[in-house]
Amino acid sequence: MNLEFLTVSLLVVASPGTGAAVTIATGLSRGTRAALVAALGCTLGIVPHLLAAITGLAALLHSSSLVFETIKFVGVAYLLYIAWMTWRERGVMTITPDDTERSDSATIRHAVLANLLNPKLSMFFLAFLPQFIATDDIAPTLTLLQLSAVFMAMTLAVFAAYGAFAARMRHQVLGNATVMVWLRRGFAAAFVGLGIKLALTQR
């Protein structure tokens, strides 16, 4: 595990997206406790992506340098794609009318489904995690699970913070279109910078 992995993971987790939107909307409509439940649900929604990634990881780790370069530039494309999608997204976080009546179990199901259908996570596990596991690693699956556990812990912590902040601030900040535009632009610029750095990385 290195600083680059932690940086990329934090940016992926913290960038405004499906999971963040679900948690923030829950915090705005139902308060801190419900937001924490939603954050837990979004974190559990990562597990299916992890299980899918484990299946093909060993073969990727022992492939040729051509495959490594291919994976690397898929990663670059992913970062630029996320930067573009973050930049072009519009609007503010809104409260869905039925959120006030949603039970904890329903909140978790909704959050799990939202992250399960999030293509950003699938691309993260398939395009990035292999690059942070050495080709001579004697237990690549275990390393993958360790990295994934760190990623999930970061997801839970960041989403919980988003939700608690939303519950406290309500529409004063997160309902402000100007603030959200500049937040998204900041994340987009960070993703572009990491994409350039990754493109210049040598094996």
Query: Is pLDDT of 59 > 80?
Result: no
Distance between CA atoms of residues 137 and 107, nearest Å: 39
Q: Which residues, in sequence order, are CB contacts of 161 under 8 Å at separation 6+?
A: none
Q: Are 27 and 165 in contact (CB under 8 A)?
A: yes
Assigned token pair, 11: 């940016």
Distance between CA atoms of residues 80 and 89, nearest Å: 14
What does pLDDT average to over the chain? 77
Distance between CA atoms of residues 186 and 89, nearest Å: 13
Q: How many CA atoms lie within 13 A of 65 on its CB side?
A: 3
Q: Which of 36, 32, 33, 28 is nearest to 170 (CA)?
A: 28
Query: Is pLDDT of 125 > 70?
Result: yes
For residue 98, with 0-12 CB atoms within 10 Å meaning exposed, 13-18 middle and 19 or more buried, which class applies?
exposed
Q: Are 186 and 16 in contact (CB under 8 A)?
A: no
The pLDDT of residue 158 is 94
Query: Is pLDDT of 95 > 50?
Result: no
Parse the chain into domains and list their residue ranges. 3-199
Segment 20-48, tens digit of pLDDT: 878 887 887 788 899 999 999 999 989 88
Query: Is pLDDT of 92 > 70?
Result: no
Q: How confident is the model at residue 102 (pLDDT cuts 50, 70, 90)?
A: low
The pLDDT of residue 151 is 92
99, amino acid identity: D
Assigned token pair, 10: 């934090």
- For residue 178, the tally of other CB atoms under 10 A from its CB is 8
Q: Are 52 and 122 in contact (CB under 8 A)?
A: yes
- For residue 144, the tally of other CB atoms under 10 A from its CB is 22
Distance between CA atoms of residues 36 and 150, nearest Å: 18
Is-above-0.85 flag for pTM? no
